Amino acid sequence: MPSQHFSVALFLAIRSIQRGNRFTFFLTVMIMGLVFVNLVFLPSIISGVVVNFNSQSINYNYGNLVIEPRENEVYISGVSEVKQKISQIPGISGSSPRFSAGATYHYHDNQLSGQITGFNPRYEQEVTLIHTKMKDGDFLAEGDTDSIVLGTSLAGNIDERLDQVDSLGGVTTGDSIDVTFSNGVRRTLRVKGIIESGVYSVDRTAFITLKEIESVYGLSDTATILLVKLDGDGQEDKYKRILMEYGIAERIRTYQEKGLGFVNDAIRSFEIINAISTMVSLVIAIVVIFIVIFINTINKRRQIGILKAIGINKNIIVYSYIIQVFIIASCGILLGLLFSSGLVLYLTYKPLMFPGGAVLPVVEAGSIIRSIMSLALVSLISGFIPSWKTANEPILDAIRGN
């Protein structure tokens, strides 16, 4: 493209925007901005769900890695030896053996089945953040016996209308509840504290010390799983290999592998919704830009014909429309970024509440770049087609409006 073509096209485009119909310009920019928000917003919520799920998985459910019993075995036996091996590996900040079993809780006339987990409170604090989420009372201590800590949705409320799921009907710290373990042993335990983590699986579970549960099942130095916490996230696969190299023969899974299923299905569904929403947004952008430029070129058909007649190259005319569309799309993208930032800021202070807890939107650079590229591309294409069509009309047809 000769440089004078570009400078004339730029000149015409800028003047057209400066002195043309400002209402149409601002309206188009506004629509582009909203389309951009739509392109960025849903992926940011999906990313937020993923980040939320990952952090909950690591901080409350699994740590970074989970060691499980060998195939065809129910328990990890010789846990202290496994833990000893793990403690020698640099980059691992802690490990916590857990023993989980089914149990039925009895409180007054209420009876509820669920899961009970035993752990060593000191080790657990090296791995998860459950101890930081005490709503009431205290976390378990290493030597505690006959004590239990309940998740808040398991403990429930006296006013059952406040419960989102079935509960024990308002257990409070200091109360005693009866627990029937899966082997039939029944014990009365004093409630030492109530946990409110916002993580459904934690708030629905009861916790006792490992020592207590081992005494119930008559086992020692055993666990159903062993959680491993790394110094930093994102190196799970590497440490999985290292653990194997250190001679741990049990099954090792990353927290992502453990979470496969429910969350992945949810994310997949989200992504389908996002794809549909993205497509609809882009179609709206295409239609808006196409209509704006189409009406503009139809209204200026005669003028375009005259410009061609006086020797203005048709490419200059097409470029001038493409530049206009580029300016509209750029302003729309900037406005969209502004709107999105405002929305993200708002939702950071007032997060969306999902069943898995509060979800903060996470805007990823890749999603922004994809949105910018796709919006710019569809805008340019939908601006190019009508301007090219009009600029290629025979001069006299354009001038006469045939």
Partner 1 sequence: MIEVLDVTRVYQMGLVEVQALRGVRCSIQQGEFVGIMGPSGSGKSTLLHILGLLDSPTSGTVTIDGTDVGLLKEQEKSEFRLNHLGYVFQDYALVPELSVRENVVLPAMARGAPPDTYLKESEEILRQVGLGHRIDHRQYELSGGEQQRVAIARALINRPGILFADEPCANLDSNTSRTILNLFRELNEKYGQTIIMVTHEEWHEEFMCRVLYMKDGLIDGEKACKMRENKN
User: What is the binding site for partner 1 (CB under 8 A)?
Assistant: 2-5, 7-8, 11-12, 15-16, 18-20, 302-303, 306-314, 316, 395-396, 399
User: What are the two backbone dihedrals, phi and then psi, of residue 61, each rounded to the nearest 5 degrees?
Assistant: -105, -50
- Beta carbon nearer to partner 1, 242 or 318: 318
CB of 382 to partner 1, least distance (A): 22
User: CB of 76 within 8 A of CB of 69?
Assistant: yes
- Beta carbon nearer to partner 1, 369 or 396: 396
Looking at residue 352, its amino acid is L
Question: How many C-beta atoms surround the C-beta of residue 358 within 10 A?
Answer: 13
- Beta carbon nearer to partner 1, 153 or 296: 296
CB of 272 to partner 1, least distance (A): 45
CB of 313 to partner 1, least distance (A): 5
Alpha-carbon distance of 343 to 346, in angstroms, equals 5
Looking at residue 28, its amino acid is T
Tokens of 164: 């989102």
CA atoms within 13 A on the CB side of 101: 26
- Beta carbon nearer to partner 1, 105 or 321: 321
Alpha-carbon distance of 180 to 188, in angstroms, equals 9
- Beta carbon nearer to partner 1, 21 or 182: 21
Pairing of strands 92-107, 225-230: antiparallel
By C-alpha distance, which of 173, 142, 144, 169 is closest to 158?
169
Question: How many C-beta atoms surround the C-beta of residue 280 within 10 A?
Answer: 12
In DSSP terms, 134 is beta-bridged to 195
- Beta carbon nearer to partner 1, 7 or 183: 7
Question: Which single residue is written with the structure tokens 């459910």?
Answer: 61
CB of 12 to partner 1, least distance (A): 7
CB of 399 to partner 1, least distance (A): 8
- Beta carbon nearer to partner 1, 16 or 297: 16
- Beta carbon nearer to partner 1, 305 or 361: 305
User: CB of 104 within 8 A of CB of 112?
Assistant: yes
CB of 321 to partner 1, least distance (A): 13
Pairing of strands 65-68, 251-254: antiparallel
CB of 5 to partner 1, least distance (A): 8
- Beta carbon nearer to partner 1, 49 or 307: 307
Q: What ranges in 102-227 are assigned the alpha helix state H? A: 121-127, 152-155, 200-203, 210-217
In 282-368 the beta strands, taken as DSSP E runs, fall at: 352-354, 357-359
Alpha-carbon distance of 229 to 85, in angstroms, equals 14
CB of 326 to partner 1, least distance (A): 18
User: CB of 96 within 8 A of CB of 127?
Assistant: yes
